[in-house]
Amino acid sequence: MTCDRIVILTGAGLSAESGVPTFRDAGGIWAKYDYRDVATPQGFARNPAQVHEFYNMRRNAHASVRPNAAHEALARLEQSYPGEVWVVTQNVDALHEGAGSRNLIHMHGELFRALCGACEKSRPWHEDIGIETPCPACGKKGAMRPDVVWFGEMPYHMERIRELLERADLFISIGTSGNVYPAAGFVAEARANGAHTVELNLEPSEGRSLFAEAIHGKATAVVPAYVDHLLVGK
| The one catalytic residue among 96, 108, 126, 229 | 108
* Residue from 3, 9, 16, 105 binding ligand APR (CB under 6 A): 16
- What character string, x for contact with ligand APR (CB under 6 A) and - otherwise, covers 63-92? ---------------------------x--
108 carries an active-site annotation: yes
What secondary structure letter does DSSP report for 141?
A: B
Stretch near ligand APR under the rule CB under 6 A, chosen from 5-13, 98-106, 124-132, 137-145: 5-13
Cβ proximity of 155 and 106 under 8 Å:
no
Residue 203 or residue 228: which is nearer to ligand APR going by CB? 203
Answer yes or no whether residue 128 interacts with ligand APR by CB under 6 A. no
Element (DSSP H or E) covering residue 230: helix 219-233
Residue 233: phi, psi to the nearest 5? -70, -15
Q: Say whether residue 211 binds ligand APR (CB under 6 A).
A: no
Strand partners, 216: 201
φ, ψ dihedrals at 88, nearest 5°: -110, 115
CA-nearest of 83, 96, 234 to 174 is: 96
User: Which residue's CB is nearer to ligand APR, number 4 or number 228?
Assistant: 228
Site size for ligand APR, by CB under 6 A?
A: 23
- Per-residue b or e along 142-158, where b marks 16 or more CB atoms closer than 10 Å to that residue's CB: ebbbbbbbbeeeebbee
Q: Which of 3, 7, 23, 77 binds ligand APR (CB under 6 A)?
A: 23
For position 219 contacting ligand APR by CB under 6 A, the verdict is: yes
Mind telling me the catalytic residues?
Answer: 108
